[in-house]
Structure 1
Amino acid sequence: MRFFLHIVSVAVAVGLLFGTAAFSAPMTVAIGDFNARGASYSVGQSVVEMLYSRLAGNRAFRLVERGQLDQVARQQRITMSGMVSQESAVEIGRIVGAKYYVQGAVSHFGVLTILTARLMDVERRTVVAAYQSMTDEGEKGVNLAVRTLAADVLSSLTGPAPTGSAMDDYRSYLYEAMAFYNQGDYGRSIRYWDKMVEMSPKNPTLRFIVAAMYYSRERFRDAELSAKEAVVFDPGFAEAWLLAGKSLFMRGKDYEATDYLEKAVDLRPELAEPYFLIGQAYKNRGRLEDAMEYFSLAISKDPGYQGAYVAMGQMLLEAAQLDLARKVLARAVELDGTDPGARFLLGTAMALDGDDEGARGQLETLRVLDRGLAEKLEELLR
């Protein structure tokens, strides 16, 4: 994984050399309100706050404080509860010194939530870009929709990739990110990956790397969102679908995880891991026959996939198919003799099948690997 990250990062850095900036920097940007259509006013306000948070801190531009916008609107007797007219937006933007003014709307249609926004050039009094981001997950999907919208806005403001002197900053961030990663300091490494994402907001590979970093830190919600962003910008990115599914699985969301994992299978049917995780999700949902089928598929894709043998062996053990369980678990132990869970299950299958000698052989090894499991197996043998 470390070698993979290094190669991918360098490739991304080289690829970004050919990006072009869309607008000059530095600049001042104002974010107005979002109308709530079919949704509560608070949802519109939440979208504004999340969008502001996603764009804040970028060195390429300065955001006008929300309080300053409200104050100017009051002075001009303009109501800010929702989108204002283009003339009013231009007037507010001019007074606060903004080059660009962003505003939009949140619309609900059943479970479908659509975010729309416009980027207005205050000086030219024209709309220079329009955006749309949507989710079919209702209000719970708004966070991802806002993140996607923010990436689109950021790409318009700063360009899809760094150029000129900004490329020097990008290379510096890449160097720091890899240095901290190779030291095992993933927390500090993530900060620099995030900075690179800001400079190339619609790059799916960078989003995927950030997701992988979050996953390694067990920040599964952040990993899920970053991986989902990667597939928004590259729907054919199988590994990103897989990582989103893994993150959802780790959060206990088996139903939603299955959808993402099946998409990974559709894109890359040779991958074994999504089959294994779908099997685990089905097992958690009580669909045992389906779980067994997917564990078998994982093994067919990768005969050395030790975890699939363990999972299948455990299910066979629980179904009292002791002879078959022993064969499957013996293969798991053969693939990884240091796995205490596999040895415990094999020892249990042997003990229940009347093979005390074989079970005690596993017990001796377990005493070295995991005393807790050794005690449990020893109790079974008494």
Structure 2
Amino acid sequence: MKLRSIFYLMILSTMLLACNDKDNAEIGNDFYSQGEYQKAIDSYNEYLKLKPSDEIILYNRGRAYEELGQYDKALRDFKKVIEIDPKNESALLSFGKSYFREKDYKNAAFQFEKAFKLNTSSSKSALLLARALHRDGQVEEAMEYYNIAISNDNKNGEAYMYRGALKIFLNQMSGGCSDIQKAKNMNTEEAESLYNQYCK
């Protein structure tokens, strides 16, 4: 009888711990969606004490660090996610963005290309790869990936805007302004000022 009671207590304790873990993860996600990034990190930290290899929560914590401008900590989380799952597209994109932010466009393009190869129908990956190539001076390759980004999603205003900017750089004014006009019609940030600067 005593052994049975101990057994039930152990099961109950395990269930309570599991519920608490789940609560910490969900609470962290709630805080994140409300813009309470430090509180989100605190909740994720509690969760990760018992499940340190949960790649979803590690990634979410990395994004929260990123929102707070704590890029080194964010990068550490993204790297850990990629170690756990080298095919995690979101972590590869975030890793690439950290290189892009540091103006290391070659390494940014390398990470974005890995993400794109995992999902060739992704407009976002193609756009980020195009932007890194564009900044690295690889204009033909950049144009190819801007085209892919638009082909994958013809409502990607950013892709139109940046492709338009590249066309203008290449003295293709008509095509460039047409792309920027499309981006402007989609209310893409910066498209109107770009249009006013080059196309009026």
d(CA) in 2 for partners of 1:309 and 1:175? 37
Q: Deviations 1:301-355 (Å, cap 9, x if unpaired)?
A: 1111111111111122222221111111111111116x3x21122223333xxxx
Alignment-derived partner of residue 322 in structure 1: 173
1:345 and 2:180 aligned: no
TM-score with structure 1 setting the length? 0.46
d(CA) in 2 for partners of 1:281 and 1:347? 25
1:208 and 2:59 aligned: yes
d(CA) in 1 for partners of 2:33 and 2:88? 25
Structure 1 residues 187 and 322, CA gap change in structure 2 (3 angstroms): same
Identity rate, percent: 23
Q: Deviations 1:196-225 (Å, cap 9, x if unpaired)?
A: 122111121121211222233333332222
Alignment-derived partner of residue 231 in structure 1: 82
Q: Which residues in structure 2 correspond to 1:178-189 (within 5 Å)?
A: 178-189=29-40
Backbone CA RMSD of aligned residues:
2.1
Structure 2: state its 5+ residue gaps: 1-12
Partner AA of 1:314 in structure 2? A
Q: 1:197 aligns with which of 33, 48, 54?
A: 48
d(CA) in 2 for partners of 1:271 and 1:228? 22
C-alpha contact (below 8 Å) 2:40/2:61 kept by paired residues: no
Structure 1 residues 179 and 241, CA gap change in structure 2 (3 angstroms): closer
C-alpha contact (below 8 Å) 2:32/2:64 kept by paired residues: no
Structure with the greater alpha carbon radius of gyration: 1
Q: Point out the structure with the larger helix share.
A: 2
Partner AA of 1:310 in structure 2? M
Q: Report the 3-state secondary structure (helix = DSSP H, G, I; strand = E; otherwise coil) of the residue aligned with 2:194.
A: helix
C-alpha contact (below 8 Å) 1:325/1:349 kept by paired residues: no
C-alpha contact (below 8 Å) 1:225/1:244 kept by paired residues: no
Deviation at 1:245, TM superposition (A): 1.4
Structure 1 residues 348 and 182, CA gap change in structure 2 (3 angstroms): closer
Partner AA of 1:319 in structure 2? L
Structure 1 residues 238 and 279, CA gap change in structure 2 (3 angstroms): same
Q: 1:290 aligns with which of 134, 138, 141?
A: 141
C-alpha contact (below 8 Å) 1:224/1:248 kept by paired residues: no
C-alpha contact (below 8 Å) 2:78/2:95 kept by paired residues: yes
C-alpha contact (below 8 Å) 2:157/2:183 kept by paired residues: yes
Partner AA of 2:50 in structure 1? M
Structure 1: state its 5+ residue gaps: 1-161, 352-382
Partner AA of 2:69 in structure 1? E
Alignment-derived partner of residue 154 in structure 1: none
1:263 and 2:114 aligned: yes
Q: Deviations 1:22-47 (Å, cap 9, x if unpaired)?
A: xxxxxxxxxxxxxxxxxxxxxxxxxx
d(CA) in 2 for partners of 1:252 and 1:192? 32
Alignment-derived partner of residue 44 in structure 1: none
Q: Which residues in structure 2 correspond to 1:80-119 (within 5 Å)?
A: none
Deviation at 1:168, TM superposition (A): 4.1
Partner AA of 1:231 in structure 2? I
Q: How many residues align?
A: 188
d(CA) in 2 for partners of 1:183 and 1:239? 21
Partner AA of 1:345 in structure 2? L
Alignment-derived partner of residue 254 in structure 1: 105
C-alpha contact (below 8 Å) 1:307/1:332 kept by paired residues: yes
Q: Deviations 1:151-190 (Å, cap 9, x if unpaired)?
A: xxxxxxxxxxx94443243144235424423432112211
Alignment-derived partner of residue 164 in structure 2: 313
TM-score with structure 2 setting the length? 0.83
d(CA) in 2 for partners of 1:311 and 1:163? 53
d(CA) in 2 for partners of 1:276 and 1:182? 25
Structure 1 residues 204 and 179, CA gap change in structure 2 (3 angstroms): closer
Structure 1 residues 315 and 268, CA gap change in structure 2 (3 angstroms): same
Partner AA of 2:191 in structure 1? A
d(CA) in 1 for partners of 2:171 and 2:192? 17
Partner AA of 2:97 in structure 1? K
C-alpha contact (below 8 Å) 1:186/1:217 kept by paired residues: yes
Q: Report the 3-state secondary structure (helix = DSSP H, G, I; strand = E; otherwise coil) of the residue aligned with 2:137.
A: coil
